[in-house]
Amino acid sequence: MDKAEKVTIQEASRRLNVSQDVIRRSIREGKLVGARGGGPDGRAWLVELPEGEWLDDAKQAYIRLEQQLPHWWWPEVEKTGLVHYVESTGIEELMPAFLCGLNSESIYGANGHKEEERCPQCVAEAQKRGLTP
């Protein structure tokens, strides 16, 4: 196995595209390997550049959030009946469009809904389009 490349915190910050604070925090938390030994007096911190893609916590959390954006929503504030699938809840869309064609002025989060509460037409359409349920 090749020895990992060791660089200064400044260089690691540039190469990994995160702030130097993130690099220092990652060393403290053991997510990056760092040790003193750089610079003319051997006291500067050196960081082992991680192999492959390395993402800081903030980016990882953001990506998780993106992936977990819910698709199922109630069309009514009473939260009764069926929940429907919304492909995109982007703020640029004035009207949420449910997959089954139902229109709604607004949508209400359906976290914790049961699977049998899902609109069968939305389920079928989502499967047809290969969307994540």
Footprint on this chain of Zn ion (rule: CB under 5 A): 84, 98, 100, 119, 122
CB of 119 to Zn ion, least distance (A): 3
Q: Which of 62/108 has CB closer to Zn ion?
A: 108
C-alpha span between 94 and 133 (Å, rounded)? 23
CA 58 → CA 14, 20, 51, 62, distances in Å? 17, 14, 19, 6
CB of 73 to Zn ion, least distance (A): 10
Structure tokens at 26: 């990652």
Q: Which of 49/102 has CB closer to Zn ion?
A: 102
CA 79 → CA 33, 74, 106, 122, 125, distances in Å? 49, 6, 12, 17, 22
Q: Which of 66/115 has CB closer to Zn ion?
A: 115
Q: Which of 21/93 has CB closer to Zn ion?
A: 93
